[in-house]
Amino acid sequence: MLEVASPRSDDDVVLETQHLVKRFGGITATHEVSLKVGRGARHALIGPNGAGKTTLINQLTGMLAPTSGRVLLGGRDITGMAPHRRVGLGLVRTFQINQLFATLTPRQSLALAVASRRDAARRWWQPLGHDSAIADEAQSLLARFRLAEHADQATRELPYGKRRLLEIGLALALQPQVLLLDEPAAGVPAAERRDILDTVAALPAEVSVLLIEHDMDLVFSFARRMTVLVNGSVLTEGTPEQIAADPEVRAVYLGETAPATMEARRDG
């Protein structure tokens, strides 16, 4: 798996937050959060429920405006930029609850995403299947995300794990430079989680990934750097080994089984 260290210089940083604060009345959801995601990173953001993780992601993607602080993508200040413009610059996310078209098939959904990226969706008079390049790319994505057998089945009929895979596939169809995965394994039955783990592990090396996840199997098998958020603030950051060995992290979040989990990863 790709080994990614912390960014060595500003040239290595693709996504950055500087002192992000978000207040809702008298409640501070994020407090002075500064975070750097390196080029090609496999970076996990973890923390207990209510730590402010989704609020932070919503600020990164423009769904929430920060009270103060800045968000930079490739060194460019995007703090006041609309969500769709951030997507156009290569900052793409998935959601805790999937956002899919229930009546479309995976093939149709992926073709629509590819067409949107290629600006072909504006050619409304042409059926999507008319463009062989779009059809070929959609087929490739179906194979990559283990959806070929379900390609022409209505999305609402898919097993839940397959719907999660489709959502990641739709995000990748937009060819992001940074992919934000918001709990991709949430609600997925244990029998279907291996597909999620394997697919996330096989994401293109050139795509920087920031993962939010409670499933520690997924986190520790994937991440090469981790940031721990507690009560809206960064508690600590480091490698998975450093995080698993940190007594304060164990006390507030991971539990005493974390070092054993890491030992199993190394032995396996």
Report d(CA 88, CA 86) in Å as an integer: 5
pLDDT at position 61, please?
Answer: 95
Q: How far is CA 77 from the centre of its chain?
A: 20
- pLDDT string in tens for the chain (268-residue length): 333 445 555 668 999 999 999 999 999 999 999 999 999 999 999 988 888 999 999 999 999 999 999 999 999 999 999 999 999 999 999 876 667 888 899 999 999 989 888 765 555 445 555 678 888 999 999 999 999 999 999 999 999 999 999 999 999 999 999 999 988 888 888 888 888 888 888 899 999 999 998 888 888 889 999 999 999 999 999 999 999 899 988 887 655 444 444 444 334 4
CATH classification for the domain delimited by 10-100+175-267, as one of 3.40.50.300, 3.40.710.10, 2.60.120.10, 3.30.465.10: 3.40.50.300
C-alpha span between 256 and 254 (Å, rounded):
7
Strands 76-77, 68-73: pairing is antiparallel
pLDDT recorded at residue 9: 55
**pLDDT at residue 3 in the model:** 38
Residue carrying structure tokens 């504006």: 122
Which residues touch 260 (CB under 8 Å, ≥6 apart)? Answer: none
Would you put residue 76 in left (φ > 0), alpha (ψ -120 to 50) or beta? beta
**Of 226, 221, 258, 260, whose CA–CA distance to 240 is shortest?**
226
Residues 6+ apart with CB under 8 A from 34: 16, 17, 18, 19, 20, 234
Cα 42 to Cα 207: distance, rounded to the nearest angstrom: 9
pLDDT of res. 11: 64
Q: What is the pLDDT of residue 5?
A: 44
Kindly report whether the global pTM for this prediction surpasses the value 0.85.
no
What pLDDT shows up at residue 97?
Answer: 63
Q: Are 110 and 97 in contact (CB under 8 A)?
A: no
Radius of gyration of the chain (CA): 19
Report the DSSP pairing between strands 76-77 and 91-93.
unpaired
pLDDT of residue 201: 85
Q: Spell out the domain ranges in the chain.
A: 10-100+175-267
User: Can you give the three-state secondary structure of the chain, one letter per residue?
Assistant: CCCCCCCCCHHHEEEEEEEEEEEECCEEEEEEEEEEEECCCEEEEECCCCCCHHHHHHHHHCCCCCCEEEEEECCEECCCCCHHHHHHCCEEECCCCCCCCCCCCHHHHHHHHHHHHCCHHHCCCCCHHHCHHHHHHHHHHHHHCCCHHHCCCCHHHCCHHHHHHHHHHHHHHCCCCEEEEECCCCCCCHHHHHHHHHHHHCCCCCCEEEEECCCHHHHHHHCCEEEEEECCEEEEEECHHHHHHCHHHHHHHHCCCHHHHHHHHHHC
